[in-house]
Structure 1
Amino acid sequence: MGLRRAAVIGGGVGGLAAAVGLRRHGWQVDVFERSAALPEVGTGLAIRPDALAALDRIGSGDAARRAGRRQADGVVRKPDGTVIGTIAAGSVHLLTRPALLGVLAGALPQGVVRFGAAAGLADCAGYDLVVGADGVHSGVRGELFDAPVRRSGAIGWRGTVDVPVEAGGETWGRGGKFGFTPQADGRTNWYALGPDLSMFADWHDPIPRVLAAAGDVLRHELLHLSPLPRYTSGRVALLGDAAHAMTPDLGQGACQAIIDGVVLAECLTGGVDEGLRSYDAKRRRVTQRLAARSLQLNRLARVRRFTGARDLGLRVALALAPRPSWPSWSADLERDELAG
């Protein structure tokens, strides 16, 4: 089998994970990233054990662990501070998106990532494989499928402040929720789901202090993608938000993009057509189930009636659940999703 060439359109978490994995399996890879450089600032990501295991399989797990910190258990509360339950963090690691992108880009030779280079399918006609990793508003996906990006009806807010907290937490109230997680550098990521930030002003500490310190606040509509019939077409594969953009309520977007990229590379050690069928079979159903669950959780967090019954159900679910991963979504969005 001769040297095979892959074009990865999009240099985010999923695209870079795919590039690292493909190179480890003998592919020549070019990554086309429209941004001029890797980001220097950004809020944090909660990387779960399955995503860390995927990073291990491409040789980047230890570097990712060193770039972050273990996440402590989180407490779910009511707006007055009453504890609903605890979510055990397990082996979740927190690190910033720039740190994770730096780890992945650092595993690639100089010049593999072409910054300031937008590309479409027509630009990649000479490649044996094209990976569409260009986000929720994917141009690659738009050339292949009629799959509308939908509004969830929710407004999200997020930012980073110089207010240290020992552990993450999430507070559920009438019509929305507020959460925060510590960063490895001592700062705190925060996020909120609600029509405006004023609704959180009288919620328990440290929420008012976090909001008082908030400077650069990002506001965005929370979007999700209609389920695709498949994640591949011809010799093109979609991954991450380009394939299964979901609301950030489960905090799974970055994790699933990493796993997509690694599994795609592992499936392509042999024939491309067979490998792409295998990738679709392994990743489409599981990610679409997660997207549906995330949307359900989003709607549950926004109810305005029967919140007592909702909180009771949440308390029972937290008490009975095995040690799950903490659903933090403070930075589980790419730049093009914010543009939506």
Structure 2
Amino acid sequence: MTTSSTRGERTAIVAGGGIGGLAAAIGLRRAGWSVTVLERRPDLGEIGAGWSFALNAVRAADALGVGDDLRAVSVPTQAGATLRTPDGRYLMRFRPDLDMALLANHRSDLHRTLLAHVPAECVRAAAEVTGIEQYEGGAVVAYRTPDGPEQLTAEVVVGADGIHSAVRRSVFPDASGPVFQRILCWRGVSASGSVWPVEGFQTWGRGARFGAHPLPGQRVFWFLTVRQDQPGARYDDDPAEIRHRIGDWHDPITALVDATPPESILRHDIFDLDPLDTYTDNRVVLLGDAAHAMTPFLAQGACQAFEDATVLTAQLSGDTDIPTALAQYNRLRRPRSQRVQRLARRDPKISLSTNPLAYGVMTRLTQMAGGAVAARKSARLWDWTPPALDQHHANPVEGE
């Protein structure tokens, strides 16, 4: 058995090397902790397509010291305040002087940027967590590698290993698993320069939503979400199925699908989690999707993970008592993140309705309400201020 440090610092194990796990590792290292990241996949590169970040996530990234890096791999997108119908009519249009653009980036670009802040010796790939045993003062994490089983001890274990979290299953075996939300989503990124410029938009159809965000390098991330009664649907030709679903929707929707290499198109069933009773158990804490996986309809999943990492860092700074600090993290994070989680589950019940009457009422009310109402709704999500982080014990990190 080994420990996660040989230098006398406080020690943490982060299960999961995605965006949330890396953000937590960066924050804890800046607070003086020795951190080991265990990533199940052998390839440390992030899979996926694109996404967008609102002001609350940018504030959290700034607090963690990576805000400039986030901005450097991102471009503004107007998709948060530009809403259209399939025939091209605007229900809501971005107002440059009033609306705030989101920041859009490719997942792999952001992941690579965050990974550069965590020394290579702190990250173990192909390390799948299989169990956790707590004891007074710490925990033992069992994990499997290509060379066989291993164990690692630390004072804190952070479960940032996604919606199917092994940490959550180990510590909270009675918690319910992922819940299918009757939604199927395709995602893709157009070839550089093929369809450009695109400022960002969302299009609401009956039982379907298409969205597009510009990305650096004159690429465009797009998604199509549709109602799907059962998970596991498979199609011989995903691009053809997508074209069938969007029909003659307005430009440049079909052009974006046509400009995307078919083999790169991703198809996922959308699951979330029922709210958990707690995010912590003594020395173990959950973060991001492991704690509060949500549907993507508010574009807040990764944003909430950044918030989690910032609050966790603040609570574990200095010489605080660890169980007390984690209990405070739970008290601060669970109400807000679960409110966002509930809103993200509720949104598609309306915006993905297949009922013609409901769709008509929704689009008329959205057009009548205009951008001011949408801005007030967004502000309630984005109006979050990160805690001050104590940088007194900060470790140097690569790239600084």
Match of 1:138 in 2: 165
Could you tell me how far 1:27 is from its partner in structure 2? Answer: 0.8
Answer yes or no: is 1:58 the counterpart of 2:111: no
CA contact (8 A) 2:75 2:214 kept: no
Deviation at 1:138, TM superposition (A): 0.6
Q: Does 2:248 align with 1:202?
A: yes
Match of 1:10 among 16, 21, 24: 16
Q: Distance in 1 between matches of 2:255 and 2:366?
A: 26
1:16-51: CA deviation from partner (whole Å, max 9, x where unpaired): 111111111111100001222332764222122211
| Counterpart selection for 2:361 from 276, 295, 309 | 309
Structure 2 partner of 1:157: 186
Q: Could you tell me how far apart the structure 2 residues matched to 1:296 and 1:302 are?
A: 10
Q: Distance in 2 between matches of 1:168 and 1:321?
A: 16
2:129 matched to 1:119? yes
Query: Quick one: which of 310, 316, 332 aligns to 1:268?
Result: 316
Contact 2:39 2:123 in 1 (8 A): yes
Q: In angstroms, what is the RMSD of aligned CA positions?
A: 2.0
Q: 2:235 matched to which residue of 1? A: none
User: Secondary structure of the residue that 1:46 maps to in structure 2?
Assistant: strand
Distance in 2 (alpha carbons) for counterparts of 1:230 and 1:322: 31
Instruction: Count matched residues.
Output: 325
Of 193, 200, 208, the match for 2:225 = 193
Range moving further from structure 2, 194-203 or 257-266: 194-203
Hey, what's the Cα distance between the residues in 1 that align with 2:327 and 2:288?
Answer: 17
Mapped to 2, the partners of 1:202 and 1:134 lie a distance apart of 40
Answer whether contact 2:188 2:257 (CA < 8 A) is retained.
Answer: no
Match of 2:106 among 96, 105, 112: 96
Report if the CA contact (8 A) 2:36-2:124 is conserved: yes
The letter of the residue matching 1:189 is F
Quick one: distance in 2 between partners of 1:175 and 1:47?
Answer: 25
Change (3 A) 1:321 1:302: closer
Contact 2:159 2:284 in 1 (8 A): yes
Q: Distance in 2 between matches of 1:110 and 1:169?
A: 38
Instruction: Report matched runs for 1:175-324 at 5 Å.
Output: 175-194=207-226, 195=228, 197=242, 198-214=244-260, 215=262, 216-269=264-317, 270-305=320-355, 306=357, 307-315=359-367, 316=369, 318-322=371-375, 324=378
Unpaired runs of 5+ residues, structure 2, are 1-7, 133-140, 143-150, 229-240, 382-400
Alpha-carbon displacement from aligned partner over 1:77-109 (angstroms, at most 9, x marks no partner): 111111101256615222211121122211122
Distance in 1 (CA, whole Å) between partners of 2:283 and 2:371 is 43
Cα distance in structure 2, aligned partners of 1:128 and 1:243: 20
Q: Residue in 1 aligned with 2:155?
A: 128
SS, match of residue 26 in structure 1: coil
Mark the CA change 1:152 to 1:41 in structure 2 (over 3 Å): closer, same or farther.
closer
Name the CA distance, whole Å, in 2 between partners of 1:234 and 1:125.
Answer: 17
Aligned partner of 1:168 among 193, 200, 214: 200
1:333 counterpart residue number? none
Aligned letter for 1:187?
R
* % identical aligned pairs: 37
Once the two structures are superposed, residues 121-142 of structure 1 have per-residue CA deviations (whole angstroms, 9 ceiling, x without a partner) of 2426621000000000111111
- Whether contact under 8 Å (1:21, 1:262) holds in the other structure is yes
Return the TM-score normalized by structure 2: 0.77
Detail structure 1 runs of 4+ shifted over 4 Å in the superposition: none
Measured after TM superposition, the shift of residue 317 of structure 1 is 5.7
Deviation at residue 298 of structure 1 after TM alignment: 1.4
Partners in 2 of 1:239 and 1:164 — Cα distance? Answer: 37
Q: Is the 8 A contact 2:78 2:101 kept in 1?
A: no
SS of 1:156 mapped into structure 2: strand
CA contact (8 A) 2:200 2:214 kept: yes
Q: What is the DSSP-based 3-state SS (H/G/I as helix, E as strand, rest coil) of the residue aligned with 1:126?
A: strand
Render the CA deviation track for 1:220-265: whole Å, top value 9, x for unaligned.
1110101100100111000100000001111111111111112111
Shift in Å at residue 147 of structure 1? 2.0
